[in-house]
Chains A and B, each alone.
Chain A
Amino acid sequence: MNYTNQRTAYGNALVELGKQNENIVALEADLGKSTMSYMFQQQFPDRYFEMSIAEQNMASTAAGLSLTGKIPFIHSFAVFATGRTYDQIRQTISIGRLNVNICGSSAGLSDFGDGSTHQSVEDIALMRAIPNMTVFCPADANEVSKIVKTMAAIDGPCYIRINRNDYPNITAEDTPFETGKPLILKEGSDIAVFTMGIMGTKALEAAKALEGKISLKIINISTLKPLNAQAVIEAAKNCKAVITAEEHSIIGGLGSAIAQALAKECKPIEFIGINDTFGCSAHNYDELLEYYGLTAQAITDAAQKLYK
């Protein structure tokens, strides 16, 4: 399989955007070589601000830049980009509905070695809860540049969640992207599986394993907010049951959003995600995903349980 990296895709996308629009500026909190914002720095040193290890100041400074007509992108690990800066994002950026774009990099468990302090299990929940905020989690590297372009064009704050590690592309370069539109990765008739980020890959594996037994319909959700509830209902319409799969806490993320959207439909539902706990260190990413039950097997098991 062709493995690609969302961070590299992000850095490239920001540079491309910077070439098209001179108002794009980038702010970094000393993690530019991880978030790949340093690629923007190399191209546009005058439009890049190293704010150092002071995320709160970075977020409010971005608000000020936005208020002079700039379109800032701020960067840190997802856990700091959303948690350390929560109040700044809420008070000035979101109440003011400013076009400030937040890149939460090394998100979820993808910073596997650094452990719980650096792994974001609640970033989507935090950002979803803020009025005016648009929340994205790309399915793969191919979706990243489309989302980055979209963020700059949205007249309000946006959050993008970026995975640290190489992972397969499950969409094509020319797959159209539309804010709020669920993307059907695979048609199916028995169980609708809604996925976020890398869990799309796991769901496709599960669908293959269940071929001939249970037909899974795989639907990727890249726009966590605003969630197109009608489209979610439509996508699940012909299926008897629903599974959600996310590399995030089951509280406040994809599972919560889908359950809310489908509440009136009363379908059996299983939630695959991080079960209200923090992360921990591991030597590799897959080992950690397995430890938290974020696997194709978990989706297969859930499907069999629901299909009985």
Chain B
Amino acid sequence: MKREELIKELEAKAKILRRDIVEIVGVGLPGHIGGSCSAADIVAALYFHKMHIDPKDPKKPDRDRFLLSKGHAAIVQYAALAELGFFDRSELKKCKQLGAMLQGHPDYRKTPGVEANTGSLGQGLSIGLGMALGLRLNNIPRKVYVIIGDGEMAEGQIWEAAMAAANFKTDNLVAILDNNELQATGPIKERFNTYPIKPKWESFGWHTIEINGHDMGQIIDALDAADETKGQPTIIIAHTIKGKGISFAENVPEYHNGALTPETYQKALAELS
């Protein structure tokens, strides 16, 4: 497939994911719209292009792994898994219902395609490190992709994992920072400033790549560049917009875990049609 066609196709997939995010959240109940939409393009590039996975054989050993360390954005992953056929799309509407396959945060035992229980923030990168070490021991040349949030960079364990991954030279571990600049209560720079970001990761021994996290071409190129990195882990610092794709939710902290009204629900769907 030509690059332009691929980009177009992935952009269309990202739109589907965003529409599904809105439909999963529905009307009246809160849902993590903002951080799910900011990660949607990255998730689309990984699931529909980059990762070697098989929905018919979700546990085959020879597969790439995806972890959502910022587990509250689970609905964007659920949308991707449903689109790929890991489970029936009808499950999306039942998300968070009592007894549902799709929980509020990713559940390894309940949802096909989910690789680990995440959501207690700051832990996903360590889990990814363990997977990267395990794949290396098993001589499986696959990668582990971990999406981390910029808010959770305040968690100490992120930096424990960052040090350890550099120490173990796990070049099969790729972190993608969904750098949407907002945490639950407001702008990161105002609430608890974790900047500058890139020099921190560089000093911890990581190969860093900085991109626009909504530019599909840049996302693909960064993921390919991570393949070429040897002897150190890679972090792709993706500048994103919280709530991206839904005009009234963009950069609005209230949509971190906000509810839609019948009107805003329709407006969001119309914007994403």
Contact = CB atoms under 8 A, between A and B. Distances in A.
Interface stretch (A55-63, A179-187, A206-214, A264-272): A55-63
B126 A91 contact: no
A19 B128 CA distance: 27
B18 to A, nearest CB: 28
Nearest to B126: A60
A65 B130 contact: yes
A209 to B, nearest CB: 50
Chain A interface size, under 10 / 10 to 19 / 20 to 34 / 35 or more: 20 to 34
21 contacts: A49-B133, A51-B164, A54-B163, A60-B126, A61-B126, A61-B127, A61-B161, A63-B116, A64-B116, A67-B127, A67-B130, A70-B134, A72-B130, A87-B123, A88-B126, A91-B117, A92-B116, A95-B107, A95-B109, A95-B117, A97-B109
B30 interface: no
Interface in B138-165: 138, 140, 144, 156-157, 160-161, 163-164
Contact of A87 (B120, B129, B131, B167): B120
Interface of B: 61, 65, 107-109, 115-120, 123, 126-135, 137-138, 140, 144, 156-157, 160-161, 163-164, 167-168
A212 B199 CA distance: 76
B137 A67 contact: no
A68 B123 contact: no
A46 B136 CA distance: 11
Contacts, number: 108
Contact of A96 (B109, B140, B163): B109
A69 interface: yes
A117 to B, nearest CB: 19
Nearest to A62: B130
B129 A64 contact: yes
A92 B127 CA distance: 9
A22 to B, nearest CB: 9
A125 B248 CA distance: 49
Given A51-B164, A57-B164, A64 B134 contact: yes
A297 B35 CA distance: 62
Given A57-B161, A60-B123, A61-B130, 5 more contacts: A59-B126, A70-B134, A91-B118, A92-B120, A96-B108
A46 B139 CA distance: 13
B160 to A, nearest CB: 4
A67 B131 contact: yes
B135 A68 contact: yes
A240 interface: no
A61 B132 CA distance: 9
A202 interface: no
A49 B129 CA distance: 12
B110 to A, nearest CB: 10
Contacts of B144: 64
B107 A60 contact: no
A64 B160 contact: no
B132 A54 contact: no
A60 B157 contact: yes
Given A64-B129, A67-B116, A96-B109, A54 B123 contact: no
A66 interface: yes
A25 interface: yes
Given A56-B126, A64-B126, A92-B123, A69 B134 contact: yes
Interface string A60-99: 1111111111101000000000000001101110011100
Nearest to B107: A95
A64 B127 contact: yes
A62 B134 CA distance: 9
The 5 closest A-B pairs by CB, nearest first: A64-B130, A68-B134, A60-B126, A57-B160, A61-B130
A64 B119 contact: no
B133 A65 contact: yes
A47 interface: yes
Contact of B123 (A51, A67, A88, A97): A88
A211 B165 CA distance: 60
Interface in A95-109: 95-97
A91 to B, nearest CB: 4
Interface in A161-210: none
Contacts of B129: 57, 60-61, 64
